[in-house]
Structure 1
Amino acid sequence: MKIKFTKKRLIYNLVLSILYLTIGLEGIIYQENIRWTKYGMLSLGILYLTNSLYELKYQYLSIENGILRKNMILGFTKKINLNDIIQIKVFTDEYTLITKTNKIKIHTEIIDPKSLSELKRILSKLDLPPDKTPFQNTTIE
């Protein structure tokens, strides 16, 4: 199952990448004296486009076979086994999932509302002591 980004984030990153690509290409194609900044803008546009396509395909989180994976580009993907979680901390718009050896922060403001309720449902089903989870007294459908 995938926990998706908000559409606003995906569209914003795509528009930003097109803007950088347009500025970079315009500077390279139409100006006589090409500056290094135009190549920088073009490179930044390519990086943003790559990141946008990656986020569109893989989304924010994946949960399969009891393993939660935070998808990040360039191989910086983090994994955590849901059964190994010993504590869940909530601070404003952030969940911190803690195991004995690992810690993953999940930023909830960039998660689609439907996916966020699904994530809360999954986290509420974990067998944790009441003082180690914020989902103890809540019923999430």
Structure 2
Amino acid sequence: MKIKLKRTRLYTNLILGLFWMILGMTILLTKDTYQWTDFGYAVVAVLYIGHFLYDLRNQYLIIENGTIRKNGLYEFRKKINLNDIHTIKLFAGVYTLKSIKKELKIDTTFIDIDSLGELNKLLKELNLEPGKTPWSK
């Protein structure tokens, strides 16, 4: 199961990539001589569009084979086994899933509303001890 990103988060990267591409092309087409810094706009555009494509394909979280994995282009993929989770904390819209050895933070402001419902349902089904989840109160 994939927990999807909000569309606004996805398409912001695409719009920024297109903006930098148009700006870079405008500068390159209007100048007679180029400096190496003029090509920086193209690099930034490629990075933003690449980030959009990566997020579109991988989304925010993948839950499969008893693990939950957080995808990130500029960070290491973090994952935690669902069976190893002993505490779930919710503070300021960020879930913190804790096991003995690992900790995974999930920012709910990035998650699509429908996917957030699926994530909440999955986390409630973990049957943790009372007092170790935000729903036990």
With the length of structure 1 as denominator, give the TM-score of the two structures: 0.90
Question: Percent sequence identity over matched residues?
Answer: 43
- SS of alignment partner, residue 130 of structure 1: coil
What displacement does 1:25 show? Answer: 2.3
Query: 1:91, 1:117 → 2: CA distance?
Result: 17
2:21 maps to 21
Stretch moving more, 13-22 or 68-77 = 68-77
Pair 1:98-2:98 in alignment: yes
1:60 maps to 60
What is the one-letter code of the residue matched to 1:58?
A: N
RMSD value over aligned CA atoms? 1.4
What is the one-letter code of the residue matched to 1:42?
A: A
Query: 1:71, 1:57 → 2: CA distance?
Result: 10
Cα displacement string for residues 103-136 of structure 1 (whole angstroms, at most 9, x for unaligned residues)? 1110101100000010000000112111111123
| Maintained 8 Å contact 1:123/1:135 | no
Structure 1 residue runs without a partner (length 5+): none
Number of residues of Structure 1 aligned to a counterpart in Structure 2? 137
What displacement does 1:74 show? Answer: 5.2
What is the one-letter code of the residue matched to 1:25?
A: M
Structure 2 residue runs without a partner (length 5+): none
With the length of structure 2 as denominator, give the TM-score of the two structures: 0.93
What is the one-letter code of the residue matched to 2:83?
A: N
1:2 maps to 2
Pair 1:136-2:136 in alignment: yes
